[in-house]
A and B are shown apart, each in its own frame.
Chain A
């Protein structure tokens, strides 16, 4: 018969539990401090929510951060690429010096000039089939430089339309045959 162990023989367990409970407490204390930090990582759930509805409060927050933080922009790009509804590659140079239409089998994106040509342009995304989800985010990816993202409003009939100032960088990217586009 083995001699029963006495408290203290099981130091390994007690030590591990002490370490874990101390770390747990310190983590909780840290969390209460980190909760107020401004530049903490964006939770992945927020990226997903942004893709699903960029006009939601979370979506707007992520888009705003993506505009000023390269890490957030890169993460959003990665996720958008993973779930892109359409990849619109670079195209052959446009004959008139600027593209106005790009399309895949499923989506067509086009630019339309306003009658009042000085102020704005219309960016339109149309679904060409009946079954696909409509994108909520359009991302222009230049050959070099930072991508430019635009949230798309919700659509019920397969068409979304954005009004953009005629000097909007997104429009420049669209007209540039070397840039690529993602719809997610």
Chain B
């Protein structure tokens, strides 16, 4: 039987997530607004997380209130006019729409457009929906409409809108919608495979450690041992063939166990004990936890989305190299060898799988066996060097971004400067007389003017030999000249889009740099104990055995 799951790609999970769900979600998220996407990166991420965690219960109640209010506010076009009347679904756009509607003489009395929220006074407690929440609720409604069909949903909404609207009616409508979404996702996003994986990994750890499963029990050795066992006895039933997939699963498991443990610790510390019943899991809480752990994982995706994507801060190869490190987050420093193994042997395994596929098609004997007997193209030394080069590259790009920000007189330029050159922050603080007023430590107030305004001017116009800020600018200019990528052209530096992209890119790149440094430091500690070559040779032997067990018998 051919083995297609080699690296945690979507192709290994086609039986789990339906094409319909993926394309529906893609259609909603790809909808275009005025310039670029209709929804910003955060809204897009929240929607995917809400669907993944099935945490739409409370949002649907908010949506019920908002639909009811929007329909009253929006005149002839009703709730559709309110939600989709704005091209880019932003809090500002919805605030403007709410103010415009509420300002009309025929505006309903029970709906008030406050400064930050819509205040809805239907029978029952007053309900508030913030403008900041509306883009997400609009995306959720968009998803419901696209997944369930407008005609059917509109009938349901029309019936809801024509009836009374106290709290129970709102809840009842939200429950009805929730049931329909549940039914849809039941068929399109089944969770059994994920649960099976969770159980298999936890059982393995429990057997191996003979104690309760915890995040701490997951280390590089456990991950490799688990995969080897899966390869040798096939007990996992095909869920765990790719080492890269296994690595990602363990990274997720570790985060899940750690978050659960932290949650228990908080409960135990609470004076009146746990507020939760064992076994009851609130999807909202899961979604909240997911949002925290996904924050760093989504960095690469955000770099590829507007507005950051107007600058090519990271190219495709670099992004692929960073993927697993960013996916690991904090765990990159705990499971550095697992990441390195996935990088080197994951690619090696992918080549073998390709050969297996070809063998099935054209039957050239021997190609698979030859590959199994070979070592990976990239050893640990080369991969580590590549990661280090990437660190240097990210630093260079951040310097170049600093140049763009300096040229646009953006105070964020100093954030980069102080991060990359901490000594300059100290020098500058000594040089100006109002340190507390304008900045302390490395924190830069994001408002031009005052001392920062003078520093920004001094940076561009001053003497690099005598003025630290001008030294920063000089360093940034030299780096900028060496970055030959889209968006880093001298003549475009002052374009508002480029400036906006630079502002968006910088915090994302900073996170990438931090993760990479932590990962490399952990690797260094490892290789100080046992040299990289020695670890690699040993791993070659173990992977050879496991890969042979996996693929030779089908040869």
Contacts and interface: CB of A to CB of B under 8 A. Distances in A.
B259 A14 contact: yes
B146 interface: yes
A120 interface: no
A28 interface: yes
A16 B215 contact: no
B286 interface: yes
B446 interface: no
A18 B253 contact: yes
Interface in A2-39: 2, 4-35, 37
Interface in B470-509: none
B260 A33 contact: no
Interface stretch (B167-175, B272-280, B434-442, B519-527): B272-280
B48 A41 contact: no
Given A19-B195, A23-B191, A35-B26, A29 B290 contact: no
Given A21-B294, A31-B29, A15 B195 contact: yes
B287 A20 contact: yes
A5 B52 contact: no
Q: Considering residues B49, B87, B194, B259, which has the most beta carbons from chain A within 10 angstroms of its beta carbon?
A: B194
A145 interface: no
Query: By CB atoms of chain B within 10 A, which of A12, A14, A31, A47 has the most?
Result: A14
B249 A22 contact: yes
Q: What's the dominant secondary structure at chain A's contact region?
A: helix
Interface string A59-96: 00000000000000001001100110000000000000
Contacts of B21: 27, 30
A123 B249 CA distance: 62
B146 A43 contact: yes
B308 to A, nearest CB: 16
B197 A20 contact: no
Given A7-B215, A83-B77, 13 more contacts: A8-B214, A13-B260, A18-B198, A19-B198, A21-B290, A23-B17, A23-B53, A29-B10, A40-B24, A45-B87, A48-B84, A48-B85, A83-B76
Contacts of A42: 27
Contact of B51 (A6, A9, A27, A43): A27
A166 interface: no
A73 to B, nearest CB: 13
A30 B10 contact: yes
Contacts of A46: 31-32
B264 A22 contact: no
A34 B290 contact: no
B234 to A, nearest CB: 21
Contacts of B289: 17
A58 interface: yes
Interface in B256-270: 256-257, 259-261, 263-264, 267-268
Contacts of A21: 52, 252, 255-256, 290, 293-294
B40 interface: no
Interface of B: 9-10, 13, 16-17, 19, 21-32, 38, 48-49, 51-54, 76-77, 80, 84-85, 87, 142, 145-146, 150-151, 154, 189, 191, 194-195, 197-198, 202, 212-215, 248-249, 252-253, 255-257, 259-261, 263-264, 267-268, 273-274, 278-281, 283, 285-287, 289-290, 293-294, 297-298, 301, 327
6 contacts: A21-B294, A25-B252, A27-B17, A27-B189, A28-B301, A83-B77
A43 B27 contact: yes
B194 A19 contact: yes
A34 to B, nearest CB: 4
A17 B30 contact: no
Contacts of A22: 194, 197, 249, 252
A24 B49 contact: yes
B79 to A, nearest CB: 11
Contacts of A82: 80, 154
B52 A23 contact: yes
Nearest to A20: B53
A49 interface: yes
Contacts of B263: 10, 13
Given A9-B264, A37-B26, A43-B146, A15 B198 contact: yes
A14 B25 contact: no
A24 B284 CA distance: 15
Top 6 A-B pairs, shortest CB-CB distance: A8-B212, A43-B31, A34-B26, A24-B52, A30-B22, A7-B261
B27 A41 contact: yes
Contacts of A33: 10, 22
Most chain B Cβ neighbours within 10 Å, of A27, A33, A45 = A45
Nearest to A14: B260
Contacts of B202: 11
A33 B13 CA distance: 13
A16 B333 CA distance: 25
A43 B30 contact: yes
Contacts of A37: 23, 26
Contacts of B290: 17, 20-21, 24
Contacts of A30: 10, 13, 17, 21-22, 25-26
A10 B195 contact: no
B22 A49 contact: no
